[in-house]
Amino acid sequence: MRKGFRSDLGWSDVTPKGLWLNRRQVLAAAGAMALGGPALAGLTYEKSPLSTDEAPNTLEDITSYNNFYEFGFDKTDPARYAGAMTTDPWSVQIDGLVDKPGAYSLDDLTMGVTLEERIYRFRCVEAWSMVVPWIGFELATLLNRVGVQPGARFVAFETLARPEEMPGMANPSIEWPYREGLRLDEAMHPLTILATGLYGEPMPKQNGAPIRVVVPWKYGFKSIKSIVRISLVADMPPTTWNMLQPGEYGFYSNVNPTVDHPRWSQASERRIGGGLFAKRQDTLMFNGYGDQVAGLYAGMDLTKDY
Ligand code: MTE
């Protein structure tokens, strides 16, 4: 059964008029440019005040240095192999403790939603970082629309698992599909987004097309790519890196310079694109988003709940 938002809410009901017209013009222009291909279409979005004012990394940095193990373990593998992934049509199954479960197309998910640009610091557990101008919308918007039922305490996510298009899946060391999870309050936090693009264009495949999570105060691996399933559940769900190495990667995985990874320090980071001799910078608690998110963890011992 296919369920969408269209029935109850149209674009023009929820989108500021200027933006709505603007999007129609963009779509018309995209149609006129059909010979030039969809990459020219671009996305219409608003700028979010929740952005950092740090300078973004280049598109080249962001799309050529990636972790997407379904395409291989090397940083250059995703750019090399992700082109084979079919992302249209795309459907995300939403299930578990929700009022409106179903298979939602990408259009269903974004229909009537105002896209925003969110320039976020992104800190990988491997102690490198980037600044990325994501385009997306709050995960809370989607969760509110599908209706979270009482009893749901966590959100579980799964990535596409299609071995014929994903050469990295031949590696049996990871139990596929790639999975991640958030506590419901983390998922509902305004900083947590579903991103459908970056630099004003639809999401590059190596960055998790067509839709991925971005949680800027957690290590990058929590930001799961190419999502095909979102489940509202009562119990803490299994997550890929925790399943693989529970002593190294906990469920929370908040960026925390005071809790080291067992094999390396988390106190500093190397900004990608800064060159080999660039000075390392100090890693900030919650990746610099502490004012907004520290309250989520009040009373918890973050050396135990890492
Ligand atoms: N999602 C999936 N499905 N597979 C992955 O291997 N890697 C994670 C995360 N999401 C990963 C994933 C890790 S370790 C990081 S650091 C970020 O994606 C990298 O995102 P980027 O390539 O857009 O910078």
Please tell me if the CB atom of residue 67 comes closer than 6 angstroms to any atom of ligand 1.
Answer: yes
Residue 6: pLDDT over 50? no
Question: Do residues 116 and 122 touch, judged by C-beta distance below 8 A?
Answer: no
Q: How far is the CA of 11 from the centre of ligand 1 (A)?
A: 31
Residue 39: pLDDT over 50? no
| pLDDT the model gives residue 37 | 38
Q: What is the mean pLDDT of residues 167-190?
A: 97
Question: Do residues 67 and 221 touch, judged by C-beta distance below 8 A?
Answer: yes
One-letter amino acid of 305: D
| Of 293, 222, 289, the residue nearest 51 (C-alpha) | 289
Residue 276: pLDDT over 80? no
pLDDT tens column, 278-301: 899 999 999 999 999 999 999 999
- Determine what percent of the chain is predicted with pLDDT higher than 70: 87
| pLDDT the model gives residue 57 | 98
CA-proximal residue: ligand 1, atom 8 (nearest): 221
Q: Which residue has the tokens 């940095």?
A: 61
Q: How far is the CA of 291 from the centre of ligand 1 (A)?
A: 25
Q: What is the mean pLDDT of residues 37-51?
A: 79
Domains present along the chain, CATH in parentheses:
11-297 (3.90.420.10)
Question: Do residues 129 and 123 touch, judged by C-beta distance below 8 A?
Answer: yes
Q: What is the torsional sign of CA 28, 62, 203, 164?
A: positive
| pLDDT the model gives residue 41 | 66
| pLDDT the model gives residue 274 | 84
Partners of residue 181 on adjacent β-strands:
156
pLDDT tens column, 72-98: 999 999 999 999 999 999 999 999 999
Q: How far is the CA of 106 from the centre of ligand 1 (A)?
A: 20
| pLDDT the model gives residue 277 | 81
| Of 53, 250, 223, the residue nearest 124 (C-alpha) | 223
Q: What is the mean pLDDT of residues 34-45?
A: 60
The total number of residues shown for the chain amounts to 306
Question: What are the residues whose beta carbons fall under 8 Å from the beta carbon of 266, sequence distance 6 or more?
Answer: 125, 127, 255, 256, 257, 259, 260, 283
Q: What is the mean pLDDT of residues 27-48?
A: 59
CA-proximal residue: ligand 1, atom 13 (nearest): 221
| pLDDT the model gives residue 42 | 85
Residue 175: what are its φ and ψ, rounded to 5°? -85, 100
Least confident of 4-18, 128-142, 163-177, 284-298: 4-18
Terminal Cα distance for the chain, rounded: 39
> pTM of the predicted model, to two decimals?
0.88
Residue 25: pLDDT over 80? no
The Cα 197–Cα 133 span in angstroms is: 9
Please tell me if the CB atom of residue 65 comes closer than 6 angstroms to any atom of ligand 1.
Answer: no
The Cα 260–Cα 14 span in angstroms is: 45
- Give 12's pLDDT tier (boundaries 50, 70, 90): very low
CA-proximal residue: ligand 1, atom 23 (nearest): 207
Q: Is residue 196 within a helix (H) or strand (E), and if so which, with residue range?
A: strand 193-198
Residue 30: pLDDT over 50? no
Q: How far is the CA of 225 from the centre of ligand 1 (A)?
A: 6
| pLDDT the model gives residue 1 | 43
Q: How far is the CA of 269 from the centre of ligand 1 (A)?
A: 17
The pLDDT mean for the chain works out to 90
Using CA atoms, how far residue 1 sits from 93, 97, 110, 156, 194, in Å, is: 10, 17, 18, 21, 23
CA-proximal residue: ligand 1, atom 24 (nearest): 66
Residue with the bigger pLDDT between 40 and 125: it is 125
The Cα 33–Cα 8 span in angstroms is: 32
